Amino acid sequence: MAEQYTAIVVGTGFASTFFLHRLLDGLDSNSRVLVLEAGKRHPHRWQLNHPNALSKIARQTFINRTPKKPWVVERAFGGGSNCWWACTPRLLPNDFRLQSTYGVARDWPVSYDALEASYCDAEALMDVAGPSDDSPFPRSRPYPLPPHTMSDPDQLLKRAFPHSFFAQPTARPSRAVANKRPRCCNSGVCHLCPIDSKFTIENSMRHVYEDPRVSLEFDALVQRVDIQNGVATGVEFVRDGRAHRVRGDLVALGASAIFNPHILLNSGFSEHALGRNLHEQTSIKANVLLDGVDNFQGSTSITGHGYMLYDGPHRKDRPAILIETWNVPRLRDERGKWRQLIKLMCIIEEYPNEQSRVTVAKEDPTRPAVSFAGRGQDTAKAVAALKTELPKLMSKLPIEDVVIANSFKETDAHVLGTAAMGDDPASSVVDRHLIHHQVRNLMVLGGSAFPTSSPANPTLTIAALSLWAANHLNHSRAGDTT
């Protein structure tokens, strides 16, 4: 007979770990939680000795029908925390209400104000460094760490745009933190931090999995959720070629926006929104050639965030754009002007497209198939605006030229959509607390639930949503319906 658990959690990335961290607060000492991770545990030293190994492993786990558009996932303990750049902006309040404010895309069923406390909690768990007194986001608590030092060109941009240019918030520490993570070394090698400074699940939250109530199983590839009479009774997973079943009172899927819908589709779910609207942001690089101003004095890899083209009435006509200023040295090939360059990353929000989707691969039902329908006309409008407006913005600095790339960055490594949250079951998969509309003891966590993307990095919002959802569950268990 299958073992019985209080909860079964799928995955060990940001969504699952932050959810489990808070869920444990509401469980008694007799509770049992099973966590199923499809990958293995690879400590930081192993990753340094095997660069890019996790990415190579992950590419084999799904079928990409449109290989020109790559999607980045990590099948290993800690999920995307193994490869993220640790950029942690919040979404802006209007990102949650695009339809009601600007008449585009769709609204989220949850507001910025509802998530604000969970944003603060997530930042505390990550030891985020950011500008507490000079932030584009309404805040109720200061950042745990002070912001990183901005470069000289950043300082000029701050003076030119005091209300729309800020130090980037990041989980790359600006000073050593109590759990022994050292200060950011500013090497610019953030995909795999050489000194293990940036936040990862392994270096900062492995204690969640050391709780005596938690059992963690590796190489456990979940294939489906068992449903009986509208209730999730457990899951089926494969290990070493053999199928196993476990039973649970609650099932929470946190296996990314590619694998969550695959599990649900394999389980017999067929709602229209499931698997559709796969999307992520679109980025374009630009180089600003400075005139007499040196760069690269900042204290981390990305130092500035420009909101000059982000929010406002223009969003009725084209998507928002967030501008990052990079502090990773890239020198000009001109004598006497080596450091007179700013690398910008201009991040454009991408409106979801139903035709970009995840399905079950007919040739191998154990793997999801991913199809990308291409970027829409709204993205083209944003690119046209960028080409017109960016030179005007940068003219506030002493510059020689602004060179905008003619092609998009291949991927931002942010996989979103496919099980969107919403109030209407006809157009969404889960409700505002990430609970499946029909199966009320089944939750779908993470970027899967995003109805839209915004141009902001989504990881902090993924973590905050997981804390918010677990808080609701704990309050419901305790009989608190407020």
Q: What is the mean pLDDT of the chain?
A: 95
Would you state the pLDDT for residue 18? Answer: 98
CA pair distance 26, 83, nearest whole angstrom:
31
Bridge-based pairing state of the strands 251-253 and 7-10: parallel
Q: How confident is the model at residue 178 (pLDDT cuts 50, 70, 90)?
A: confident
Q: Tokens in use for 161? A: 């745009």
**DSSP letter at 422?**
-
Would you state the pLDDT for residue 211? Answer: 98
Would you state the pLDDT for residue 60? Answer: 87
Would you state the pLDDT for residue 411? Answer: 85
> b vs e for 280-289, b when ≥16 Cβ sit within 10 Å of the residue's Cβ?
bbbbbbbbbb
Give tens-digit pLDDT for 81-132: 999 999 999 999 999 999 999 999 999 999 999 999 999 999 999 999 999 9
Q: How confident is the model at residue 480 (pLDDT cuts 50, 70, 90)?
A: low
Q: Is the pLDDT of residue 482 over 60?
A: no
Q: Is the pLDDT of residue 481 over 90?
A: no
Mean pLDDT to the nearest integer, 367-393: 94
CA pair distance 201, 126, nearest whole angstrom:
9
User: How buried is residue 156: exposed, middle or buried, by Cβ count under 10 Å (0-12/13-18/19+)?
Assistant: middle
Which residues does 123 contact at the CB level (< 8 Å), separation at least 6?
88, 130, 143, 144, 169, 460
Superfamily of domain 4-477: FAD/NAD(P)-binding domain (3.50.50.60)
Q: Is the pLDDT of residue 330 over 90?
A: no
CA pair distance 278, 16, nearest whole angstrom:
20
* Separation in Å, CA 73 to CA 56, 61, 225, 347: 10, 9, 21, 20
- Could you tell me which of 352, 361, 364 has the C-alpha nearest to residue 414? 352
Percent over 70 (pLDDT), the chain: 99
CA pair distance 62, 265, nearest whole angstrom:
14
- Could you tell me which of 108, 224, 86 has the C-alpha nearest to residue 168? 86
Would you state the pLDDT for residue 57? Answer: 83
User: What is the DSSP annotation of 79-130?
Assistant: GGGGT---B-PPPPGGGGBHHHHHSSS-B-SS-HHHHHHHHHHHHHHHT-B-
Give tens-digit pLDDT for 389-417: 999 999 999 999 999 999 898 888 899 99
Q: Is the pLDDT of residue 381 over 90?
A: yes
CA pair distance 201, 74, nearest whole angstrom:
13
For the entire predicted model, the pTM comes to: 0.97
User: What is the DSSP annotation of 326-386?
Assistant: E-S----SSTT-TT-EEEEEEEE-----TTSEEEE-TT-TTSEEEE-----HHHHHHHHHH
Give tens-digit pLDDT for 54-80: 888 888 899 999 999 999 888 999 999
Using DSSP, state whether 313 is helix, strand or coil. Answer: helix
CA pair distance 451, 206, nearest whole angstrom:
30
Q: Is the pLDDT of residue 429 over 60?
A: yes
Would you state the pLDDT for residue 1? Answer: 59
